[in-house]
A and B are shown apart, each in its own frame.
Chain A
Amino acid sequence: AQKVTQAQTEISVVEKEDVTLDCVYETRDTTYYLFWYKQPPSGELVFLIRRNSFDEQNEISGRYSWNFQKSTSSFNFTITASQVVDSAVYFCVTNAGGTSYGKLTFGQGTILTVHP
């Protein structure tokens, strides 16, 4: 069974600080995908990034970057120069292959508060 653990329950930063959200996952699958979703105060779930298990290349997309290390089963997410609008709950997510098809398994979420 898949499991996702986000070590930080809450993080509080001041605007323009960089912030890294930690995520560790467990799976027996050899092929899988990892995602980060954001849930702002308005409540909707917003897709941010996706990474498959075969690609450990770390990337940057605007102010977002991620560090995927298969050896440690970690998929950390960094926001550079945080802004107040980044305040939200961030979920690290993985999918299950095989018979579970597109089921997503969510971490418990990290509440990020960015103060002006």
Chain B
Amino acid sequence: DSGVTQTPKHLITATGQRVTLRCSPRSGDLSVYWYQQSLDQGLQFLIQYYNGEERAKGNILERFSAQQFPDLHSELNLSSLELGDSALYFCASSFPDWGNEQFFGPGTRLTVL
């Protein structure tokens, strides 16, 4: 158990819908990262937050957004969903951010029908 929690574990929705994925980092970790794992793209970095502020952005679509709250939990919002958004979404946390290993949550498997 990495100490990072993600909810829900599975999510099935339809095209055009909007969903929210939730992540709670390990106790004491200030950085939260979101990654997407799909068969065609592999594991890709989406976005990083550090103590409530956006720190780095990867190839995150404009339809996707995220935020980190004062209690350090984070949410990833996916809107106008398309079939291609079906993937495993991981949250990770670390403290401090650069150089330290990131600890990953169990992931949320999103299926868009």
Contact = CB atoms under 8 A, between A and B. Distances in A.
Interface residues of B, number: 28
A83 interface: no
Given A101-B50, A103-B45, A106-B43, A44 B2 contact: yes
Interface in A66-113: 91, 95, 97, 99-106, 108-109
B46 to A, nearest CB: 10
Given A102-B55, A103-B48, A106-B43, A45 B97 contact: no
B41 to A, nearest CB: 10
Most B C-beta atoms less than 10 A away, residue of A44, A104, A108: A104
A43 interface: yes
B101 A35 contact: yes
Interface in B87-110: 88, 90, 92, 94, 97-107
Contacts of A50: 100-101
Secondary structure class of chain B's binding surface, majority of residues: strand
Chain A interface: which size bin?
Answer: 20 to 34
Given A101-B48, A102-B31, A47 B42 contact: no
11 contacts: A33-B99, A43-B107, A45-B104, A50-B101, A52-B99, A95-B99, A102-B33, A102-B55, A102-B102, A104-B102, A109-B43
Interface of B: 2, 31, 33, 35, 42-45, 48, 50, 55-56, 58, 88, 90, 92, 94, 97-107
